[in-house]
Amino acid sequence: MIDGWEAAVEAKIREAQARGEFDNLPGMGKPIPGHNDPYDESWWIKSFLEREQLPGDLLLPTPLQLRRRIEQLPDEVRDLPTEQSVRAFVADLNRQVVEWLRTPTGPRVVVRPVGVEAVLAGWRADRERRAAQRVATAGVAETVPPAPARPLRRWRLPWRRR
């Protein structure tokens, strides 16, 4: 019975080839991507992450994700507008760290809550540095003479009366 099924499938394929349904398919005549690459057990995970444009950090265990977030904390809070928003961001991160510490899963990695005041001190210093840079660039911009202003032209439209 399997032979009859295989024969039926092969017959359908030959009929489709005769009708030209396999002509001009995308990738025709091109090598199969990754054909000569060594075998990789996680090829499907890598292709999924690439296809869906997801960061590879999602595959990390929770403690390593938390460590990565703590390392990237200065960059993440840099553009927050107020101290309250920085405090809220750090408090949320610390809440996640404490939740993990209560029920640790995954590898044993040292993860500690972040000091809010230390993050705020770095945030303030960064804001002051960027403000000083803006003032310095504004001072340079003021030394360049502005372009002469052109007088505004008043166009009169023939069908409009003033």
Residues 94-115: tens digit of each pLDDT? 999 999 999 888 888 889 999 9
Average pLDDT score, the chain: 84
For residue 23, pLDDT over 90 is answered with no
Residues 55-74: tens digit of each pLDDT? 888 888 889 999 999 999 99
Task: Look up residue 110 and give its two tokens.
Answer: 């040292």
pLDDT of residue 25: 86
Are 115 and 73 spatial neighbours (Cβ–Cβ below 8 Å)?
Answer: no
**Structural domain boundaries of the chain?**
61-140
For residue 161, pLDDT over 60 is answered with no
How far apart are alpha carbons 99 and 130 in whole angstroms? 35
Are 93 and 114 spatial neighbours (Cβ–Cβ below 8 Å)?
Answer: yes
Closest CA to 110 of 100, 120, 118, 121: 100
Closest CA to 111 of 121, 99, 123, 126: 99
For residue 162, pLDDT over 60 is answered with no
> 80 CB contacts (<8 Å, ≥6 apart)?
86, 89, 123
Are 77 and 90 spatial neighbours (Cβ–Cβ below 8 Å)?
Answer: yes
- Torsion sign over Cα 48, 54, 55, 60: negative
The one-letter amino acid code at 98 reads: V
